Chain A
Amino acid sequence: MRNGGGEAVLEARDLTKVYAPRRGQPPVHANRGISLTVHKGEVVAVLGPNGAGKSTFLRQVAGQLLPTSGTVRVCGIDVIASPLAAKRCMSVIPQECSPYDSLTVEEHVRYFGIIKGMDPRTAPGETSRLLSEVGLTEHRTKLIRELSGGLKRRVLIALALAGPGNQLLLLDEPTTGLDPASRRTVWKVIESLAGKGRGVLLTTHYIDEAEYLADRIVIIAQGRILAEGSPLEIQSRSASKGRLDIYDVDLLSAAAKAELDSLKGVWPVSFAREDHLRLAVPDPFSPEAVARLQGLSGLGVKATLAPASLEDAYLTIAGEMPET
């Protein structure tokens, strides 16, 4: 945690969301009792497969979606009972949100900043400062329709930072669809916000994003928290210490296939697809593992041996196959 164990800016307790049944279908449980605390200066990343309940949880915290049961407090204020007061303490960047095409970058931050509580007298100066903070100064007079996806995201971040309060930032998949350079820029902005003592709760599909940004990772599946801890703690929950990835499995020679079959008898398969196989290796640095890798290479097989990663742990915990 960047600023030590600050006070809690978010306390969610036993949040559930049940959607009423439709046309003979059973009710849908989007969340099943999620409890989570975020402290000042802390970045918490929520990971989970599609439909896990990440966005539902974030929308409940943001006061956009009423929970079926449970409580949410932001800066000690009940979001359900006193939404306006609670919203003064937080800002949200939704997953898919387009700013207004016919307004400029500067106009967005300035006027929506005033709507969010920025003092109109100091708004021009405050807007300039925010645009500089997110690296948008040179784009300030551009219309939104002239911006790339990454720059639009940064406008939304600047907008989220506008106004007083903002002790808690909620970011729903903040870098989805961005190119690597834009992702890095957004990461830097998020890091600096946490460094200034704001609590950040973000959802993401990107393991590297969670690993880079998060002080704490929460893995959600089917509306439940399956694991919670620092990236290192989560990584330690991988099924094995290493992994052997074999690529182009569908193109292997007969001899290579035979070698692979014998390997499957030694090390369990942790993930399999038509063209990609991953075996869980107890010790990736053992002479046996290295010899096996050399044997595969000698047969012309494209393979890599590596220590287990956060992604392996995520797959073990969430029990899902990665998508490509």
Chain B
Amino acid sequence: MNGVFTQLRACMTQFFKSAQRELGLILAFFLLFPLGFLFFLSILVQPSFRPQILVGSIMMEVALININVLAQSVAQDKQSHFFDLWVSFPVSPLVYVLGNALPWLPVSLLTAGVTLAMGIYLFGISVAVAPLLLLVALVLIWSSTTGIGYLVAVYGGNPRQVNMLAQFVGIVMTFFAPIYYPVTALPLAAQYVAYAWPLTWGAILLKALFASNLTQAAIAILVLSLYTAAGYALIALGLRWRAK
């Protein structure tokens, strides 16, 4: 029997084979967020807000794309009944979920890299973080939202409903998690709610890393690790994998 990594590699390879045939669509998707970021920073935003907008854009590219893409991939599999086939394969549900989510991680990281480079070189935003540490942080932010994407898919019903639910979660998390503004801008009660979202902690982590605030970064890393562990545990335990 092949191990988890061999299975994941096969998942990734089949995705990339498929992606080669949809390259235009993926490139358009890849360029969308950096272009949006460019638009915001060029036209609308005062220079003092730029670091916050940079954080918000990267969060969109890493976290929200993960939630959306994963939710819609799983929903599509459910619609085509390929999900039933996956359940009948000798694979862990975690392999299936990571097999769907992982191929998009390089796309998200590349997009985030382009946005970051634009922020630094076109708009002079100061980012004081080691590239490797930033990479680890982005992967952690990505993995902390994988469980949410799966939950949206398995509780969302058909692909249309999953799409709506993913958009709803995305909007709620974008506007009620302070990724585009400081958390202190929210009313006190809303701040407590905001701290329940992993996106809030992702934004805190990026801001802390950009400003070399390692204590705050460590706290955010701990919280995001807990979100990651909880999400993966739910998936690995087979939540909504076998029907009841």
Q: What is A's interface to B at a CB cutoff of 8 Å?
A: 59, 62-66, 83-85, 87-88, 90-92, 94-100, 102-104, 107-108, 111-112, 114-120, 143, 156, 159, 164-165, 170
Q: Are A94 and B85 in contact (CB under 8 A)?
A: yes
Closest to B19 in A: A102
- What is the number of residues of chain B that contact chain A, defined by CB distance less than 8 Å? 29
Interface 9-mer from B7-15, B123-131, B183-191, B215-223? B7-15
Near A by CB (< 8 A), chain B positions 76-93 give 80-82, 84-85, 87-92
Q: Are B242 and A114 in contact (CB under 8 A)?
A: no
Question: In whole angstroms, how far apart are the Cα atoms of A108 and B85 in the complex?
Answer: 13
Q: Are A102 and B2 in contact (CB under 8 A)?
A: no
Known A94-B81, A115-B2; further 19 A-B contacts with Cβ < 8 A: A59-B84, A65-B243, A66-B242, A66-B243, A87-B89, A87-B90, A88-B1, A94-B84, A97-B82, A97-B85, A103-B14, A111-B14, A112-B14, A114-B7, A115-B89, A116-B90, A118-B2, A120-B9, A164-B1
Q: How many A-B residue pairs have CB under 8 A?
A: 100
Q: Are A115 and B242 in contact (CB under 8 A)?
A: no
**B interface: dominant SS:** helix
Question: In whole angstroms, how far apart are the Cα atoms of A93 and B95 in the complex?
Answer: 21
**Residues of B close to A95: CB separation below 8 A:** 81
**Residues of A close to B13: CB separation below 8 A:** 111
Supposing A64-B243, A103-B14 touch, asked if A115 and B81 sit within 8 A by C-beta, the answer is no
Q: Are A107 and B243 in contact (CB under 8 A)?
A: no
CB distance from A306 to the nearest CB of B (A): 39
Q: Are A115 and B82 in contact (CB under 8 A)?
A: no
Question: In whole angstroms, how far apart are the Cα atoms of A83 and B244 in the complex?
Answer: 14
Question: In whole angstroms, how far apart are the Cα atoms of A156 and B84 in the complex?
Answer: 12
CB distance from A59 to the nearest CB of B (A): 7
Closest to A119 in B: B2
Closest to A80 in B: B242
Supposing A62-B88, A94-B84, A115-B11 touch, asked if A103 and B243 sit within 8 A by C-beta, the answer is no
Closest to A84 in B: B90
CB distance from B21 to the nearest CB of A (A): 5
Q: Is B48 an interface residue (CB 8 A)?
A: no
What are 24 A-B pairs with beta-carbon distances under 8 A? Answer: A65-B242, A66-B244, A88-B1, A88-B90, A90-B88, A92-B88, A94-B81, A96-B81, A97-B81, A100-B18, A102-B18, A111-B11, A111-B13, A111-B14, A112-B89, A114-B9, A115-B10, A115-B11, A115-B91, A117-B1, A120-B9, A120-B10, A164-B1, A165-B90
